[in-house]
A and B are shown apart, each in its own frame.
Chain A
Amino acid sequence: MIPRLLLASALSLCVASATLADDIKMAVTTSFHNSGLADVLLPEIKADLDLDVHLVVVGTGQALRLGRAGDVDAILVHAKSAEEKFVSEGYGTHRTPFMYNDFVLIGPADDPAHIAQTQSAAEALASIQSTRAPFVSRGDDSGTHKKELSLWFGAGLIPDDFATTWYQAAGAGMGASLNTASAMNAYIMSDRASWLKFGNKGDLVLLFAGDPVLFNQYAYIPVNPATHPHVKSDLTAKLETWLLSARAKSLINEYRLNGEQLFIYNAP
């Protein structure tokens, strides 16, 4: 009885993990996945290429780690210097930047630091710092966190010196950090997509956007078959050709969330 059950469950597992069409695994960042763009692109990729792209949704740091270990066939992230290091160390064949979106500053509707009137991201952050208004940082070494830190440095401020009475490192993903900010009615930096899709906004509103330093470039990197011979490099090349096609360009540029364009296609 028990061995038979065991066999049956083992068999059902094998059946479940076998798929008929070609498939690859791609590690993507949470911000990309939260945007909902994947739900538009993946069915089109399936229709055009008969290719199932299985997304492993993680932070940029973990995505790079999965690529390094050869656990995925390609990665789609947004952290230029880390990506260049990844490629130069031989884990990726090359880096293909193809679209960008932007980061926005979110905060309580009454805007105690008056960042809505500021002219640059640096000015907005300096204003939050000088009023000691509560600010939630991702604090998880993700691409978004690294970006936030670079903006503080750009404003001539050192986040390490900030008092925890107002500057709180959540150590969590974008969604969880937004939940924290919503509960504390605090300022936070988010990618636009995660913010638009976020369902627990509470009293928070979008206060500042548009400074070019807030632009966020996404790049596609196939894992290097010379380092990891088992990766499906023919399929990742096929996907790359598709991403660089006019079809991908129009799908990405035409994607709207709540009536707003999220991504701007800029492949060379």
Chain B
Amino acid sequence: MNDILQGLISAGWLIITFDPDLIEIVLRSLQVTVGAVVVSSVIGLPLGAWLAVNRFRFRRFVIALMNALMGLPPVVVGLIVYLFLSRSGPLGVLNLLFTPSAMVIAQTIIITPLIASIAHQAIRELWAEYHDLLISVSTSHRQRICTLLWDGRRALLTASLAGFGRAIGEVGAILIVGGNIDHVTRVLTTAIALETSKGNFSLALALGFVLIALAILINATVHSLSQTERSGRW
């Protein structure tokens, strides 16, 4: 109990004093996670819409596979990405291991299935509504997907934020591919893991509270900017 209180106090102190190390790892956490969310959204949202609109032989299988991949174990993703990016691996020449880019790659793999699945679910319902209209004005596949993505943008925002939520709190994969190098690849979650291993529970908790506050702040900001809760709109 004492540790929790101490953690809250230290968290407040770190934030009030603009601790430079804290600012650095917060910015790096955001850089990595926002990078991964942007890439995943660019892949996942159109993929979800495409799966909703198109009928093909293995569609059900692809959807089931995508849903299953939502539960990808991050440590395994980290290990596989490590083996690819390792100097002895097939992509070793790119020299990406132990860089923030490697962390973005790992997180992108983890959250793309999540974003695509949620997007697919949302678009499928919208497609049921729009189906007759879009067919009757003889739109192309591309136009249909674009219309659905635009009109479903609020639900898709939730998909991206869910991806953000999973990525910002993830530690297993980025610890392996990033290496938790001080001032290079250390982010909030890997710093928390490190401090816990040192038995510095109050500092670890303080960083944890900062992480939670950051997640709330980002979500609140995105929602207020997109005005999802504006009166008269549901």
Contact = CB atoms under 8 A, between A and B. Distances in A.
Contacts of B28: 16
Contacts of B202: 199
Residue among B42, B89, B180, B184 having the largest count of chain A Cβ atoms under 10 Å: B184
A171 B38 CA distance: 37
Given A6-B39, A55-B181, A13 B201 contact: no
B199 interface: yes
Nearest to A39: B182
B87 A228 contact: yes
A9 B98 contact: no
Contacts of B34: 9
B199 A17 contact: no
A197 B198 contact: yes
A142 B11 CA distance: 33
Nearest to A201: B199
A13 B38 contact: no
Nearest to B202: A199
Contact of A199 (B31, B42, B99, B198): B198
Category for how many chain B residues contact A? 20 to 34
Given A17-B100, A55-B181, A71-B98, A199 B38 contact: no
B98 A198 contact: no
A223 to B, nearest CB: 10
A54 B184 contact: yes
Interface string A190-205: 0000000111110000
Interface in B170-212: 179-182, 184, 194, 196-202
Interface of A is mostly: helix
A132 interface: no
B104 interface: yes
Given A9-B34, A9-B38, A71 B97 contact: yes
Given A9-B34, A16-B100, A56-B98, A200 B181 contact: no
A237 interface: no
A35 to B, nearest CB: 11
A173 B197 contact: yes
Given A10-B35, A175-B198, A200-B199, 19 more contacts: A6-B38, A6-B39, A12-B31, A13-B100, A16-B100, A25-B181, A54-B98, A54-B179, A56-B179, A57-B179, A58-B179, A69-B89, A70-B87, A70-B88, A71-B87, A173-B197, A178-B199, A199-B200, A199-B201
Interface of B: 28, 31, 34-35, 38-39, 41-42, 86-89, 92, 95, 97-101, 104, 179-182, 184, 194, 196-202
The 10 A-B residue pairs with the shortest CB-CB distance, nearest first, are A175-B197, A200-B199, A70-B87, A199-B199, A56-B179, A69-B88, A198-B199, A9-B35, A17-B99, A199-B200
